[in-house]
């Protein structure tokens, strides 16, 4: 869900939107594990690939938790969660998928957290697009 209106950047060559990214702490808590080390499985949008290992490393400086990550499209991961995939955390790039999972009983609304805001940019090589409306008439 877009949280801010589209705005033009520069000489109308790029259009930027602020996006909301949402995490859902899934029903059931952490995965069962036969070892003494707690284990969680994180499902996350592919755009987290560059930062998730660093965040996990920072987390593990203070906590002893084995963490497995599964990265992919938010829609595909949401479908897997709806079919009982064993994920403990879901980092979605689209709030709608989290809302749908909560509505279907696969998560609790009080465990839904906005974790980041990002920017999406549409770039063109020319100046033909100066506003969002220009995208309607290629």
State the pLDDT at residue 65: 82
Percent of the chain at pLDDT > 90 equals: 23
Give the separation between CA 8 and CA 130, rounded to whole angstroms: 7
Residues 9-40: pLDDT tens digits?
A: 333 333 333 334 445 555 444 444 456 778 88
* Cα–Cα dist 25/111, whole Å: 5
* pTM (2 d.p.): 0.66
**Alpha-carbon distance 112 to 95, whole Å?**
9
Burial zone of 36 (CB within 10 Å; 0-12 exposed, 13-18 middle, 19+ buried)? exposed
pLDDT tens-digit map of 70-85: 999 999 999 999 999 9
The whole-number pLDDT of residue 80 equals 95
CA distance 39 to 29: 10
Token pair 């955390």 is found at 89
Which has more confidence, 131 or 33? Answer: 131
Task: Give the residue from 30, 29, 26, 8 showing the smallest Cα distance to 17.
Answer: 8
β-pairing, 66-72 vs 39-45, is parallel
């Amino acid at each position: 869900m877009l949280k801010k209106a589209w705005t033009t950047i520069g000489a109308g060559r790029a259009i930027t939107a602020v996006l909301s990214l949402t995490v859902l702490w899934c029903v059931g808590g952490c995965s069962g594990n036969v070892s003494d080390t707690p284990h969680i499985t994180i499902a996350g949008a592919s755009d987290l690939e560059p930062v998730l290992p660093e965040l996990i490393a920072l987390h593990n400086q203070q906590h002893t938790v084995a963490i497995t990550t599964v990265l992919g499209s938010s829609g595909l991961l949401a479908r897997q969660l709806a079919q009982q995939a064993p994920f403990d955390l879901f980092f979605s790039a689209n709030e709608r998928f989290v809302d749908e999972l909560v509505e279907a009983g696969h998560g609790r609304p009080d465990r839904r957290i906005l974790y980041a805001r990002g920017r999406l940019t549409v770039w063109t090589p020319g100046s033909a697009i100066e506003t969002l409306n220009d995208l309607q008439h290629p």
